[in-house]
Structure 1
Amino acid sequence: MRTKGVSVYYGDKKAIDDVSIDIPSEFVTAFIGPSGCGKSTFLRTLNRMNDTIPSARVEGSIELDGEDIYSSGMDVVQLRARVGMVFQKPNPFPKSIYENIAYGPKIHGLAEGKTDLDEIVERSLKRAGLWNEVKDRLTDSGTALSGGQQQRLCIARAIAVDPEVILMDEPCSALDPIATAKIEELIDELNGRYAIIIVTHSMQQAARVSQRTAFFHLGKMVEYGRTSDIFTNPIEERTKDYITGRYG
């Protein structure tokens, strides 16, 4: 994905100011910064989730494979299949584990019949590291799983429609350390199959899971580069101050 001069407004208030970034397909990219700096708002522009907020408007261009995702010809439903989203709080559908995964492939016509659906469900749950834990209870409700399992179910649901990009908005903030470690292992395993962008309030997590990091502050992207450089040799003074804990 590539963004050029992206600004986001909520009514008259500018939440994001002139952000341009190239997001590589082969790496995990982390967005870091203090609360309220705009990182989640910017993430939501990448699959047009801000369309659901009446006062929101987006200026600039965002391209997926060279195509402007805000063009009038863009099918937003198809866009959100290509750019999946995993939210801060796990949000499985109030359906069975099987139906949670099968729902997307069904509505997007990705399965010819039950055999195809069974294969997609099994493959997606395996990729999300959940298959062995739920294979004998696929008819149970997705909401009956633990918080960490629910989040992995939501990741399985996102990858079931074979997206190009997966957006993760603080996916571990509601989880305990053991569940967080499993999600981080999963991100590492999915790295290379999809472009993954993760918003995280944890600098340690960004350092562990990402290869590229963008630092946001007061609606601007202050610095973007290799994660190792951002954390050990930042160019901007504001980045250095945030990394060293002087504010945030």
Structure 2
Amino acid sequence: MVTRSERRDAISSQFQSLVKNRPTPDGTDDGDAILELDDFSVFYGDFPAVHRLRLGMPRRQITAIIGPSGCGKSTLLNAINRMTDLIPGARVSGRMRLNGEEVYGNRMDVIWLRRRIGMVFQKPNPFPKSIYDNVAYGPRLHGKRDRDELDTIVERTLKESALWEEVQTRLHANAMSLSGGQQQRLCIARALAIEPQMVLLDEPTSSLDPQSTARIEALLEELRGHYTVIIVTHNMQQAARVSDYTLFLYEGEQIEFARNTQLFLNPQQEQTEEYIAGRFG
């Protein structure tokens, strides 16, 4: 039988080369949380999909959410920009604050909230429009009409999403003509075009080939320090590679939330050890 000490050694060996001890972005510290959850729960009817979460997600760093299927990862992501408002029977309890403002408070403008929080889904979903119009869609929706300004936004965000060099000569081509990996980077550019404070990524590479996955992970490295990124992933190696912090959920419960240098190399909870060692999930 494998002892706990032997399992810890195996985990540390597996993730040692993946986990990076990255510096905190300038102007922030470990206690600088952009999103704070205090006894936060999401219910579907009487079922607690996520239950009594307590944590602060750090500003301008990347947080990964891991856990088995059905543990509440996507539910939490949807709750952050109030997509749960669209689900019949869904309700929340506890507190969620973005920059100190109550996300579910009576005075929260949901349109303003979703402008501050961009979202990219598991399957690339570009609009059946040109590449240019996909990126310009959000700024236009929020009142930007000047062509020079839109040109600047499109170029900036396509560069931020590492797509500009590939599409700059065909901005008016249909976005559906792009490869799957290019479409996903276009969706990230579309999310960045509204200048969000936070970007939510729900399994953004699960439908992509390894080369496209590597491009997305390299893009995330570029976004670090400029945006707060929260990524849901089933791939623990990906979580270790790309994120600064990781939240492990199991059956809607928060098991552990820590810097990657702790969670993957020296997990505090035995359940975390067993999960990242592949003993269940």
TM-score (norm 1): 0.98
Counterpart for residue 131 of structure 1? 164
Counterpart for residue 150 of structure 1? 183
In the TM superposition, residue 26 of structure 1 has moved relative to its aligned partner by: 2.6
Equivalent residues in 2 for 1:69-108, closer than 5 Å:
69-108=103-142
Match 1:218 to one of 233, 240, 251 = 251
Counterpart for residue 29 of structure 1? 63
Stretches of structure 2 lacking an aligned partner (at least 5 in a row):
1-34
What is the alpha-carbon root mean square deviation over aligned residues? Answer: 0.9
> How far apart are the structure 2 equivalents of 1:203 and 1:245?
10
Q: State how many pairs are aligned.
A: 247
In the TM superposition, residue 112 of structure 1 has moved relative to its aligned partner by: 5.2
Residue type matched to 2:39 in 1?
Answer: G
1:39 aligns with 2:73: yes
Residue type matched to 2:73 in 1?
Answer: K
User: What does the per-residue CA deviation read over 1:116-139, in whole Å, with 9 as the maximum and x for residues that have no partner?
Assistant: 000000000000000111111111
> How far apart are the structure 2 equivalents of 1:228 and 1:49?
32
TM-score (norm 2): 0.86
> How far apart are the structure 1 equivalents of 2:39 and 2:84?
17
Larger Rg: 2
| Regions of 4+ moved over 2 Å | none
> How far apart are the structure 2 equivalents of 1:160 and 1:180?
22
Counterpart for residue 43 of structure 2? 9
In the TM superposition, residue 61 of structure 1 has moved relative to its aligned partner by: 1.1
In the TM superposition, residue 239 of structure 1 has moved relative to its aligned partner by: 0.3
| SS of residue in 2 equivalent to 1:162 | coil
Out of 39-48 and 197-206, give the one that drifted further: 39-48
User: What does the per-residue CA deviation read over 1:91-147, in whole Å, with 9 as the maximum and x for residues that have no partner?
Assistant: 1111111010101011112x3500000000000000000011111111111122111
| SS of residue in 2 equivalent to 1:23 | strand
> How far apart are the structure 1 equivalents of 2:273 and 2:188?
33
Counterpart for residue 197 of structure 1? 230
